[in-house]
Structure 1
């Protein structure tokens, strides 16, 4: 078994309710016995509209030559699953990336059987580092507390995955990874939650656009 530490980057959003499409998948494999990174993968993903905005490219440090490497979400998942192999744990810093995988795959009616043995390593590592944490510990602060010098650039999926993996390796002997599977009920619940959020923001936007602060009611003269 290997631990696959993954990190996702999304298109930069400018309004609430705008779809959160995955634009980069960064991941690396950690050999649990050797306690070292043995492989890595970086996949750029084209949004449905087929264009990655300049602001998004700048945010995730995407170079001009990377644009031609971007593939559809379906192709990206196929490449990622092929790279995963058969025996692995999936690990991320926080549960948000798990939700993004579920939401986008459910939207596009794609199989999620490969999403198994998932572990959120943010909470257990945070608890090991400090018993006084009242809020979730960010990756940047966690690396600093652990005395790990970050490599690469922040908000770049592959670099964040590698930095998270280095943090995981530091505490590897104190973390128990669990085997599990993603149930259809969990997929449905998460996707319904996502859709309700989308519709709520959409309704708020429509109500705002239909209300003008200087307008008069029918009874005003």
Structure 2
């Protein structure tokens, strides 16, 4: 069986309520028998506006040649889901990245059958490393406590995925990865949240356009 460890990076947001968009998918395959990383995946994603801001590029250590390789989200997901293979566990450090996959796929009306056998490995590994931190141990601190020298740079999807995979390999015999499927109800809940968020964002953007330098008047 293969474990897929993934990490996402997002565009930097400049307005409250602005939707998050994935700008990098980093992942690696772990052979659970040999406990070795056997493959890598990295892809940069263009946001809807087709522009990746300088601040975002700086934050995720994205070079100019990386911008040229970026693809639309639907193409990136198609390539990623094909790379996954047939039998696998999906793992990430915390549940946020899973939610971003769901949200953006819902927005783009893309299938999510591939998002199965998901495991948040932050909780079980965090508990093994330190019970005092309520299982919310950051990746950097987890690597330090585990005695693992991190590779690459923080906030770079592929590097964070590899570092998370090294934690998984170290504690693989002490945690249990579970099989599961993404339910229709959860997809629908994410869609409803997306619609509410989209409405609030449009409403806020309209107010800022109408009153760019002042507080909107109070008509009460």
Q: What are the equivalent positions in structure 2 for 1:47-196 lying under 5 Å apart?
A: 47-134=47-134, 136-196=136-196
Q: Which has the larger radius of gyration?
A: 1
Q: Which runs of 5+ in 1 are unaligned?
A: none
Gaps of 5+ in 2: none
Residues 127 and 135, structure 2, Cα contact 8 Å, conserved in 1: no
**Equivalents in 2 of 1:97, 1:216: separation in Å?**
39
CA distance in 2, matches of 1:9, 1:214: 34
Change (3 A) 1:150 1:108: same
Q: Counterparts of 1:81 and 1:164 in 2: how far apart (Å)?
A: 20
Does residue 34 of structure 1 match 2:34? Answer: yes
- TM-score, normalising length: structure 2: 0.91
* Partner residue in 2 for 1:17: 17
CA distance in 2, matches of 1:217, 1:68: 49
Contact 1:103 1:191 in 2 (8 A): yes
- Residues 214/174 of structure 1: CA separation in 2 closer, same or farther (3 Å cut): closer
- Determine if contact 2:119/2:177 at 8 Å carries over to the other structure: yes
Measured after TM superposition, the shift of residue 198 of structure 1 is: 4.4
Q: Which residue of 2 aligns with 1:5?
A: 5
Cα distance in 2 for residues equivalent to 1:47 and 1:155:
18
Number of aligned residue pairs:
218
What is the SS of the residue equivalent to 1:132?
A: helix
Q: 1:166 to 1:216 in 2, by over 3 A?
A: closer
SS at match of 2:153: coil
3-state DSSP class of the match of 1:171?
helix
